[in-house]
Amino acid sequence: MRVLVTGGAGYIGSHICLELLEAGHDVTVVDNLANGKREALRRVEALAQRPLELFTADLNHKDDLSAAFSGPRIDAVIHCAGLKAVAESVADPLRYYANNVAGTVTLCEVMRQHGVSRLVFSSSCTVYGDAATVPITEELPPAPVNPYGRTKRMIEQLLTDLQASDPAWDLTLLRYFNPAGAHASGSIGEDPAGVPDNLFAFIAQVAVGRRPELRVFGNDYPTPDGTGVRDYIHVVDLASAHVSALEPAGGPAPRVYNLGTGRGYSVLEVVEAFERASGRKIPYVITERRPGDIARAYADPSRAHAELGWRARRDLHEMCRDAWRWQSQNPDGYPDS
Ligand SMILES: NC(=O)c1ccc[n+]([C@@H]2O[C@H](COP(=O)([O-])OP(=O)(O)OC[C@H]3O[C@@H](n4cnc5c(N)ncnc54)[C@H](O)[C@@H]3O)[C@@H](O)[C@H]2O)c1
């Protein structure tokens, strides 16, 4: 297949591109490079020893986007492009709705114009909001609690409406839990702009000396050590799920899958595992809980296993080891390019 990956120059997208190339697919990337790096794609090509095609274009610029569909026939789209910082989405919701929701509308319009009907969408466990029960199954009614999560849920709804309007669409929604780690080579990984929004990237920057300490938001949650528990999933496992999701499977579309390991780890367990993997001390301070944070969230990933034949294979140690390899080899992230 030739697969068009939106947001392919980003953290998860670059790992997906590599998995696709290694599985023998051809890859076209559309990315406006707002948060993605050209260098990430150069490294993907070097690892796969195969080229891919990059269109530097914004999803909301229909003509530019259309150009990416005008070359060799695109068989499927993996839609990772999006803004993802929760606090930023609270401060500037219009930007999030315009980029994420309107961008997806334009993408689907352009796909329809070009007769492309298969799409795999990067959704998030954020759509579940403050889930009352764990493990979280796909049946739990979504109830996102911030604008970012609502953009993800709105996109899921618009894709569900689209599927209902025309059975020719073939849509899959993947709800990621907490992506972590990097490719085992250490040559591609997460390179956040500004202050990292997620735990692994923050810890890695503390370990490498870019930040003095980790702030742990609350140690009075009803969890074994009082810190929040999340389901971390190795980014290469996550990427491989997309290759599986390209093959039609399971029940009627849109198909919805949780992507997680099914096991939760607390913040302090991750700190300890990272210290072991890196041989570095991770100083931390306990601060107030963050508004909106929940005690525990982990997936029931059994549907993805049953229908896609996929499951996460890499454990917490491998996530820490690979995140550290990436960060120690690239202390300042990708060079500017
Ligand atoms: N990283 C996580 O913790 C996480 C968890 C759940 C879901 N997701 C979703 O997975 C997807 C990828 O996340 P990531 O962590 O790789 O983020 P990322 O920021 O590294 O990658 C997103 C990419 O999309 C590009 N992009 C954004 N808006 C665009 C637009 N309008 N047109 C073209 N390109 C655009 C950016 O330049 C970037 O390269 C996002 O949709 C995110 O919401 C991420």
Determine if ligand 1 sits within 6 Å of the CB of residue 81. yes
The helix (H) or strand (E) run that includes residue 148 is helix 147-165
- Pocket of ligand 1, candidates 33, 37, 122: which has the most ligand atoms within 8 Å of its Cβ, to mutate? 122
Determine if ligand 1 sits within 6 Å of the CB of residue 104. no
pTM score:
0.98
Burial 256-293 (b: 16+ CB within 10 A, else e): bbbbbbbbbbbbbbbbbbbeebbebebebeeeeeeeee
11-22 vs 38-48: helix axis angle to the nearest 10?
A: 20
Protein residue whose Cα sits closest to atom 8 of ligand 1: 124
Determine if ligand 1 sits within 6 Å of the CB of residue 8. no
- Residue 123 scores a pLDDT above 90: yes
Which residues are CB-contacts of 161 (< 8 A; sequence separation ≥ 6)? none
Q: Using pLDDT thresholds of 50, 70 and 90, give the confidence band for residue 291.
A: confident
Span from the CA of 31 to the centroid of ligand 1 (angstroms):
10
Percent of the chain with pLDDT over 70: 99
Q: Which atom of ligand 1 is nearest to the CA of 36?
A: 39
Q: Which atom of ligand 1 is nearest to the CA of 33?
A: 37
171-228 confidence digits (pLDDT tens): 999 999 999 999 999 999 999 999 998 999 999 999 999 999 999 999 999 999 999 9
The token pair at 95 is 């930007």
Q: Which of 98, 107, 76, 241 is nearest to 171 (CA)?
A: 76
Span from the CA of 34 to the centroid of ligand 1 (angstroms):
9
Mean pLDDT on 283-289: 97
Mean pLDDT on 112-132: 96
Mean pLDDT on 296-307: 96
| pLDDT score of 150 | 98
The token pair at 182 is 């990097």
- Residue 132 scores a pLDDT above 90: no
Write down the domain spans for the chain: 2-180+233-260
| pLDDT score of 292 | 79
Distance CA 156, CA 142 (A): 10
| pLDDT score of 337 | 60
Active site residue 265: no
Span from the CA of 84 to the centroid of ligand 1 (angstroms):
6
Q: Phi-psi bin for 48: left (phi > 0), alpha (psi -120 to 50), beta?
A: alpha
Determine the length of the chain: 337
Distance CA 48, CA 44 (A): 6
Distance CA 125, CA 231 (A): 10
Show the CA angle centred on residue 305, arms to residues 297 and 84, nearest 5°: 45
Distance CA 297, CA 313 (A): 19
Determine if ligand 1 sits within 6 Å of the CB of residue 103. yes
Distance CA 298, CA 257 (A): 13
The token pair at 335 is 């060079």
Mean pLDDT on 151-180: 97
Span from the CA of 225 to the centroid of ligand 1 (angstroms):
32
Q: How far is CA 44 from CA 1, 16, 29, 335, in A?
A: 18, 10, 12, 15
Q: Which residue in 128, 148, 232, 265 is the catalytic one?
A: 148
Span from the CA of 100 to the centroid of ligand 1 (angstroms):
9
| pLDDT score of 252 | 86
311-334 confidence digits (pLDDT tens): 999 999 999 999 999 999 999 999
Distance CA 314, CA 239 (A): 12
Which superfamily is assigned to 2-180+233-260 in CATH? NAD(P)-binding Rossmann-like Domain (3.40.50.720)
227-238 confidence digits (pLDDT tens): 999 999 999 999
